[in-house]
Structure formats: C-alpha cells, structure tokens
Structure 1
Amino acid sequence: MAGQETGERIGALLDELARQAGPEARDVADELVRCLVEFYGEGLARTVRLLRSAPKGADPLAVLTADELVSDLLILHDLHPEDTATRVGRALDKVRPYLGSHAGDVEVAGLDMEAADGPTLRLRLRGSCDGCPSSTQTVRWTIEEAVARIAPEVAHIEVEGMAAESPQPALLQILPHRPDDAPGEAAPSGEPGEAARWYELGPRSLPADDGATGVTEVSGRALLLVRLPGQLYAYRDRCPLCAAGLAPAVLDGELLRCADCDAAFDVRRAGRGDRGHLDPVPLLEENGSVRVALPGELLGAGP
C-alpha cells in the first residue's frame, strides 16, 4: 500500500473510531498515531545518522544493530541478521563477569519460540548466590535486563531453582521509550517477583580508577560504588552490622572495611562478610554506559 493510501486509510479508521466510540477515543487514537510516527521517525533519523557517520568499509548491518533502538526495529520486522538464540548468548556473555561476583554462572536450558504465552527462555544458574536472597534476586534482575535489551522478543524467562519468574515486556510495545523505562505495578515490598526500576548513572558519579569508591544518590537512595580491576560494583550504602554509611570505609584490596565497626566485606563476592552481607544492587556496564536497578524493597527502605 502506497504512503498516501496508507495515510488515507489511517484517517478513515480514526473517523470510524470517533463515530463508534466518541471524540475522547478519537483523541487517544490521535495521540497513539503521533507516538508511532515519532517513534519510527526517530528510528529512521538514527539510521541515517549512523550510516552517514559509519567508518569507511564498515558493515552497514553491524553499524545498525549496534544501536539499541534501530536493532529493536529490525527485530520487530524480522530483519535482524542474528537469531534470538545468538542474541540471548550475547546478552548472557555481557552479564557473566557480574555473575562471577556472586560465585555463579548461567547457561541456557532451553528456548521455546513457540510457547503459548510467547517465546520463553529457560536458564540454569550454577553455584550462584550461596543462598543469599538479595544476591539471588540481584542476579535475576540483571539477567532479565540484559536479555530484554538485546532480545526483547523473549516474553518470559524461567530460571531453574528460583522462586518466581518475572515476565519480560512484549516486543517493544511500540513505545518511544522501552517498557522498563516506565514505572509499573509492583508487588508489595519484598515479595518475590517485585519489579525493579533501572536508572542510568552520569559519568561524574562513577569512581574512575581501580581501587576507588564513591557514594551517589539514585532516586533518593545512597549507593556505594566500588571500582575494582575489570568490574564496577554497586551496594546499598549501609553497613549491615552497625547501619553506618560506607563513604568513609577503607578498601583493602578486595575487602571493604567499615570505618565504624571494622567489619570486612568481600566486594567481588557479592559483599559477603564473616558477620553479615552487604546489599548488592544490580548493575550493568556496557559501551560507556552504567545502569543500576533499585528493587522495590530498596526503594522503600530507610537510608
């Protein structure tokens, strides 16, 4: 159908909707059409910018698929050069260094593209979390976010040995912002499956050098960031033993020692200590961008 014919058809459908459902429904539909036009317009604009600025001899498809929005559009229209299984593998490769801090790994147990409720990914965690609920949930949220970014058509993720599965948003939902960018209905604080909200951190809030720490505020909550060689870690800024803030804590190699009670916690191993356990915060670092998730129980917790 030609562009002019498509436009005329859309106008006719909007008029028919107004006749059947009234002017308020027509206003909502008009806004929906505007959002769709803006969404696809941004996708086209990015495609043009990316191809114009691509290095000489670069593979055009590789350039386009490296951009999240354009990649999602290619997936939506079944034009992406990589299949779902390949992109799931890339997503898991991105989070494996993070999972290592929880003494674990993840492997694909199955991918059912014909499942009744939508494509379902089954994962198996190996040796993760040592039974720590906060660490287990942190691992799960991190995996789900990584997969949603690279393989958004995956509707559900099931993880062997974990209590509840959080459904992934349907492919794009045809929104100008990803579904996980908007707050949703969360379960009561602390219940399994409660949603996490992801936030991007500005470069000024990040410790730049290995062995450096820093405290930053995200949505009113103080987070401790620790940079070790090869990995950035995030924890709630609170000692589990004395409840003191960890800004003045001393980093001795990979051990973080509370300045108030002298308790030590292993930064690389999800904040484990002999007498307590720091609260880990999901973190993804890629392409110069750092994002952290604030689970509902942390959003509702005290300072």
Structure 2
Amino acid sequence: MEVGSADFPNARVAMGSPLAKSLYGIDGVARIFFGSDFITVTKSEEVSWDILKPEIFAAIMDFYSSGQPLFLDSKSGAPTDTAINEDDDETVAMIKELLETRIRPAVQDDGGDIEYCGFDPETGVVKLKMQGACSGCPSSSLTLKSGIENMLMHYVPEVKGVEQELDPEEDETAELANNME
C-alpha cells in the first residue's frame, strides 16, 4: 500500500480486496492485515505454519502476477481516523497528530496498526483499536498501557488514560474467557 493500512478481521470484510479474498480462501487463515510494505496473516490454532506458508506465498505471488488492484473500490487505505477535522478541539488534534506521527509508525514496525476511536473529555480517556498482528496479541494491552498511554499522557495533559476498543468478535471471546475464570 502506498499509504495507510487495511485490516480484514473476517472474510466478509475482505470482499473489497482480491488479495485478501484469495488469502481467506485458504483453510486456517483467521485474519489479514495490509501495511505499507508488509502483509500480516494470522492463522487459527488448528493449522500449522508448515502447511499454510506455501499456500499463502502462492496466493500472494498469483495476485501480484495477475495485475489486479489491491482494492476493488480504489480506496487508497489512507488513515481517516487521524485526519484532523475542523470541528476537532486542540486536545483531539494533538492526540491525532501524536498517533499519526509517533505512535502509528512504531506499531506498524511490529506488523500492526492502531485506529483512533475517540476521546472523552470528561474522563480523559482515549479509545483506540489495535489492528493486524497487534490485534489479539497478548502484549498489545501492555503496549497500549505502558507505551501509548504514557506518551499521550506526557504530551497531552488532558489525557488521563487509554482504553482498547475491541471488535464484536473479540469482545465475545474476551467475555467468554472472563466467564470461564
């Protein structure tokens, strides 16, 4: 991708990208994420990488030799979540700028991305969603709390904390795990 990233948490969302759709056609693929110069594929636990890697590699090579566009709707994948809008106050603009310039590049280095979901000025809480390899990663909550939260609180005094937004599927899984404890 020339700019931005794209997260495909399920096959339904992947229909807008011929490559993502092709990768979801492989048994055992659980999630797909496109970064600026990488693809992150998350597998289900039942399948071995030894079986998946050749199929994934073949699907990627077939896609690039086909000449198809990465997206059918020609969206660039540019992040819109951190675009500063006219109605954003100073605090939100500072949060978005930090996310775009300092935090997003660091998270993308680890094969993921981060999406800004909102800021509550009353509680001082920033809502973020982890994507790609960072989504569902056990260390993502540590990254969110120690790295991202500390940086935002340091540069933006109005920020009192950071919370992770989960996809509905991840929310159900987390709730199920909590009920089993």
The interval holding the TM-score normalised by the smaller chain is 0.3 to 0.5
Larger Rg: 1
TM-score, with structure 1 as normaliser: 0.23
Q: If each structure's helix is expressed as a fraction of its own residues, which one has the higher value?
A: 2
TM-score, with structure 2 as normaliser: 0.37
